[in-house]
Amino acid sequence: GAVVSQHPSRVICKSGTSVKIECRSLDFQATTMFWYRQFPKQSLMLMATSNEGSKATYEQGVEKDKFLINHASLTLSTLTVTSAHPEDSSFYICSLLQGDGDTQYFGPGTRLTVL
């Protein structure tokens, strides 16, 4: 399957600051990437779909001005959590489609803790 990396793997920040998370496809060009959020003991929730060269599509209830997504190249998508607050503390995971376009391969995730 596809090789996906995320950076950083773990970040701690103060309330009110912004944090950028990178998602990279290491072995092929991905036109579509997805961003998920996972709270403890809960399922993965899709936040947005990131398309290369165009604006991201956000799921209902996800603030697009708070969670900025940039998919500037076929191998990189970034998620910026702006003015982070403690309730934004979560596990953020990206994924991308490969090959037949049906299967999503996930990155290792980024643990965000907002103090």
Partner 1 sequence: EDQVTQSPEALRLQEGESSSLNCSYTVSGLRGLFWYRQDPGKGPEFLFTLYSAGEEKEKERLKATLTKKESFLHITAPKPEDSATYLCASETGGGNKLTFGTGTQLKVEL
Q: List interacting residues with partner 1 (CB under 8 A).
A: 1, 4, 6, 32, 34, 41-46, 49, 57, 91, 93, 95, 97, 101-109, 111
**Nearer of residues 60 and 65 to partner 1, judged by Cβ:** 60
Distance CA 48, CA 67 (A): 9
Residue 40 Cβ vs partner 1, minimum distance, rounded to whole Å? 11
Q: At 87, is the secondary structure helix, strand, or coil?
A: helix
The encoded tokens of residue 65 equal 């001005």
Helical H runs in 1-115? Answer: none
Pairing of strands 110-114, 10-13: parallel
Choose between 87 and 100: whose C-beta lies nearer to partner 1.
100
**Whole-number minimum distance, CB 69 to partner 1, in Å?**
15
